[in-house]
Amino acid sequence: MRVLHVSSGNLYGGVETLLRTLALASADRAGGAVHAFALCFEGRIAEELRAAGAPLTLLGPAKVSRPWRVWEARRALMSLLQREAFDAVVCHAAWPQAIFGPVVRTAGVPLIFFQHDALSGSHWVERWARVTSPDLALCNSRYTASTLPSVYPRTPWRVLHPPVRDGGPDLVASERTSLRGELGADAADVVIVHASRMQEWKGQRLLLEALGRLRQMPRWKAWFAGGAQRPEEIAYEAGLKAQALALGLGDRVRFLGQRSDVPRLLRAAEVHCQPNTGPEPFGLAFVEALYAGLPVVTTALGGPLEIVDGSCGVLVQPKPEVLAQALRGLIEAEAARRKLGSGGPARAKALSAPDAFLTALEDAVRSVARKAAA
């Protein structure tokens, strides 16, 4: 079996993390299906796919504002599909589905849409993507699946939770102490970690508001990992830093920027908190935290409702006073942290084990390939 995954490749977030995990898991499977990749842009994910040994084709920098670039990228994809045989093409998100879906249809290859986000049907990219219906939609959560009919009301679908790799064993004591020291935390501090894109709905501002209510409480620190990738994200990050200073949290909060060692950060912390103010489509960061054995505190919105339960975390309403209360309880109670943290790894594996993801994905490809051959 040969499967081609198409994505943009110009940013780095949940889609790119999934592609990297998929490539690594596929490489670990001797004699399994071949998962190849086609991207428009050179960047971090392209480098990671090459490092994983995955077949990679660069289609060219397609930009809607430059139609000739779109046509060049489409021709590059058509050439690839004519040159190599694939059992299916998977377009990851609405943008590649809109641009490349018609090419896949013309080539006569089964088309799968991997839905990474909630859809409304109102965005121009979604309206464009609606023109080309896929043979199957793979939705990354039940929450996103509930929004699929706004774009594809008649397309069959399956929920397929994204794969997440276990970040590895716990840090040895000396390594943990050293990393915490570099980031301003000593052995007695309870470290709260937030690791995501610099986007307001990811809850950084809400978390700071909650921490401001805890500034008189001793022995906690907070780390914010994640770099700004767009101009609006740069402005948002600057606002967060100003907010932390205004709340009197300057010496207790660290903004770490883009990190490639998030699993290490998680294993050096005590609590994971990403209190989204809008629904998360799924939430890879929560699964990563569960693998690390951290209790997860988040808001009861969207995909995390399928990840976090009473065995591994705390769900709250997106209000600073409620969030502060939940954090206070975990900062004060080591036994509660340990109990919730101990339930995380099993929960993460049940949701997002890469081998199980590959098996389900390849079963989905077989289903559309059989239908096409019938």
Distance, in Å, from the CA atom of 339 to the CA atom of 317, rounded to the nearest integer, reads 22
- The whole-number pLDDT of residue 227 equals 87
CA dihedral of 86, 88, 92, 93, whole degrees rounded to 10: 140
pLDDT band, very low/low/confident/very high, at 256 (cuts 50, 70, 90) = very high
The CA-atom distances, in angstroms, between 124 and each of 62, 64, 67, 128, 153 are 16, 11, 16, 6, 17
- The whole-number pLDDT of residue 370 equals 84
Region of poorest pLDDT, from 28-37, 234-243, 244-253, 304-313:
28-37
List pLDDT tens digits, range 150-194: 999 999 999 999 999 998 889 999 999 999 999 999 999 999 999
- Computed from CA positions of residues 114, 117, 118, 123, in that sequence, does the dihedral angle turn out positive or negative? negative
**H/E element, 65:** none
Nearby residues of 82 by Cβ (< 8 Å), 6 or more positions away: 107
- The whole-number pLDDT of residue 251 equals 92
Percent of the chain, pLDDT > 90? 93
The 3-state DSSP class for residue 178 equals: helix
What rounded mean pLDDT belongs to the chain? 96
Q: Please check whether residue 187 is in contact with residue 180, taking contact to mean a CB–CB distance below 8 angstroms.
A: yes
Q: Please check whether residue 275 is in contact with residue 298, taking contact to mean a CB–CB distance below 8 angstroms.
A: yes
The CA-atom distances, in angstroms, between 178 and each of 56, 171, 220 are 38, 10, 17
List pLDDT tens digits, range 2-29: 999 999 999 888 899 999 999 999 998 8
- Taking residues 341-349, report their average pLDDT: 96
- The whole-number pLDDT of residue 42 equals 96
Q: Which residues pair with 296 in a beta bridge?
A: 272, 313
- Taking residues 82-99, report their average pLDDT: 98
For residue 90, the tally of other CB atoms under 10 A from its CB is 27
Domains assigned to the chain: 2-163+354-373 (3.40.50.2000), 173-352 (3.40.50.2000)
Distance, in Å, from the CA atom of 203 to the CA atom of 313, rounded to the nearest integer, reads 17
- The whole-number pLDDT of residue 138 equals 99
- The whole-number pLDDT of residue 28 equals 87
**374, pLDDT greater than 90:** no
Q: Please check whether residue 320 is in contact with residue 209, taking contact to mean a CB–CB distance below 8 angstroms.
A: yes
- The whole-number pLDDT of residue 260 equals 86
Q: Please check whether residue 262 is in contact with residue 165, taking contact to mean a CB–CB distance below 8 angstroms.
A: no
- The whole-number pLDDT of residue 168 equals 87
The CA-atom distances, in angstroms, between 122 and each of 100, 118, 176 are 20, 12, 47
**229, pLDDT greater than 90:** no
Q: Please check whether residue 265 is in contact with residue 241, taking contact to mean a CB–CB distance below 8 angstroms.
A: no
- The whole-number pLDDT of residue 31 equals 76
Nearby residues of 338 by Cβ (< 8 Å), 6 or more positions away: none
Q: Please check whether residue 91 is in contact with residue 134, taking contact to mean a CB–CB distance below 8 angstroms.
A: yes
Question: What's the whole-model pTM score?
Answer: 0.91
pLDDT band, very low/low/confident/very high, at 126 (cuts 50, 70, 90) = very high
**30, pLDDT greater than 80:** no
Nearby residues of 193 by Cβ (< 8 Å), 6 or more positions away: 222, 223, 225, 265, 266, 269, 271, 272, 273, 289, 294
Nearby residues of 49 by Cβ (< 8 Å), 6 or more positions away: 19, 20, 23, 37, 39, 56
List pLDDT tens digits, range 194-218: 999 999 999 999 999 999 999 999 9
- The whole-number pLDDT of residue 296 equals 98
The CA-atom distances, in angstroms, between 177 and each of 63, 158, 188 are 46, 44, 11
Distance, in Å, from the CA atom of 157 to the CA atom of 160, rounded to the nearest integer, reads 9
- The whole-number pLDDT of residue 228 equals 87
Structure token pair of residue 177 = 């102490």
- The whole-number pLDDT of residue 333 equals 97
